[in-house]
Amino acid sequence: MASEFQRRKVIGVFRAMDVDGDGRLTEADFKALAHRWMAVAGSVDPERLASIMTGWWPVLQAASDPDGDNAVTLDEVLHVVEGLGDMADAVSGTADAMFEAIDLNGDGLISRSEYGALIETWNGTPTATAEIFPRLDLDGDGHLTRDEFRTHWTEFWAGDDPDAPGTYVFGALVE
């Protein structure tokens, strides 16, 4: 069973993805999220970003929609989260896909501004990220490498440590 802390982390992500606010994730929500990503300022390949975002829907649906109603509830997502600690390859694969989406200029690094664009795009609103990025940038060099991001992504999805830097990979936690 997902811990209360894991639930709190996932609620914020779920709410951001549930564009119409009906408490269920559907293909339409993923298309709306893709549309937000396509509008990211400076995006060199908006269609690629949209493909990454919409590509997550069939994966999530296959893992999280046991009743086959073409919608995924928070509880169904949390059921999958419970098993992510044993699914390192799947978690790593989604981390790499997200890294590609965030690395807008294709230099193999995520800058502070690219991270800010991620969070604002994901949440659909301006979001303060100035205090969060340094938590993720462990070596203080001003960017995140693919390996750093993969570690943080795994901490978020499969971890249960409130002090882990990856706890904040999607920004501040929902209160």
| pLDDT averaged per 10 residues in sequence order, the chain, 175 residues | 88 90 94 79 66 79 89 91 72 81 89 88 77 93 95 91 93 76
What angle is formed at CA 25 by the lines to CA 93 and CA 58, rounded to 5 degrees?
A: 45
Alpha carbon distances (Å) from 45 to 13, 53, 103: 24, 13, 11
pLDDT for 108: 95
Domain membership flag for residue 56: yes
pLDDT for 26: 96
C-beta of residue 96 within 8 angstroms of C-beta of residue 109: no
Number of domains in the chain: 1
C-beta of residue 171 within 8 angstroms of C-beta of residue 127: yes
Q: Look up the CATH number of the domain holding residue 93.
A: 1.10.238.10
In the chain, the DSSP E strands lie at: 24-25, 72-73, 110-111, 143-144
Domain membership flag for residue 143: yes
Q: How far apart are CA 162 and CA 90, in angstroms?
A: 22
pLDDT for 152: 94
pLDDT for 88: 67
Domain membership flag for residue 175: no
Q: Name the CA dihedral angle for 146, 154, 132, 74, rounded to a multiple of 10 degrees.
A: 130
C-beta of residue 152 within 8 angstroms of C-beta of residue 166: yes
C-beta of residue 170 within 8 angstroms of C-beta of residue 15: no
Q: Whole-prediction pTM value? A: 0.84
Q: How far apart are CA 1 and CA 145, in angstroms?
A: 32
Domain membership flag for residue 138: yes
Domain membership flag for residue 174: no
C-beta of residue 20 within 8 angstroms of C-beta of residue 12: no
Domain membership flag for residue 130: yes
Q: Name the CA dihedral angle for 44, 48, 49, 51, rounded to a multiple of 10 degrees.
A: 170
Domain range spanning residue 21?
Answer: 4-168
The Cβ-side half-sphere exposure at 139, using a 13 Å CA radius, reads 7
Q: How far apart are CA 40 and CA 141, in angstroms?
A: 24
